[in-house]
Structure 1
Amino acid sequence: QRYPKDKFQVIFCVESALDPGIQTIDHLIAKYKDTVDVQLLIDEDYDSNHSGPNPKINNLTKGFKNAKFDIVWVVDSNIWVSPGTLLRSVCAL
């Protein structure tokens, strides 16, 4: 994203260590770890009080709890955004 790198973080939240997306996430973390605050949170490794019976909400909750900034942008795994989307979104607030 074309946005100051010290002003955002990327948190990947998955429900299971067996999630097939982890391989891609690990690749992205390795590629960007020196320029962007990026981490992977796995639900089964996360010690928290669950937010209820909805597994999607439980999965997202750990991301909210680990967010360092006031604005949280939830993007699902099947979504692609252009490099200027974050900046335009923040400017619109």
Structure 2
Amino acid sequence: MVSSQNIQIVLDEVPDGLSGFNITVSLLDPEIAEITVVSFPGWNSMLMNSTFPVPSSSVWIKSLDGGNQIVPGAKNVFLGNITYSVYFSTLPVSTSQ
């Protein structure tokens, strides 16, 4: 069985604005989960900005605000979205009489 979860990466406040960033996201146990989707903010102006291909146990998100859309004092700045899948296994149970 597979369960997928989304994580939004949000910076709560940027008092001096934001020109760009580089974040690495890694899973602690790649045996049971993997990152399946990486999405970037709409204001991102970089063409190549993550470790590919996914699925992977580690990715980096690198973005540049070339259009100066993230102004000083901006709050709740969306930096990206990570979707990961966790793999559950079911063990067969047998009974004997």
Greater strand proportion: 2
TM score, norm. by length of structure 2:
0.24
TM score, norm. by length of structure 1:
0.25
Larger RCO (CA within 8 A; separation ≥ 6): 2
Greater helix proportion: 1
Which has the larger Rg?
2
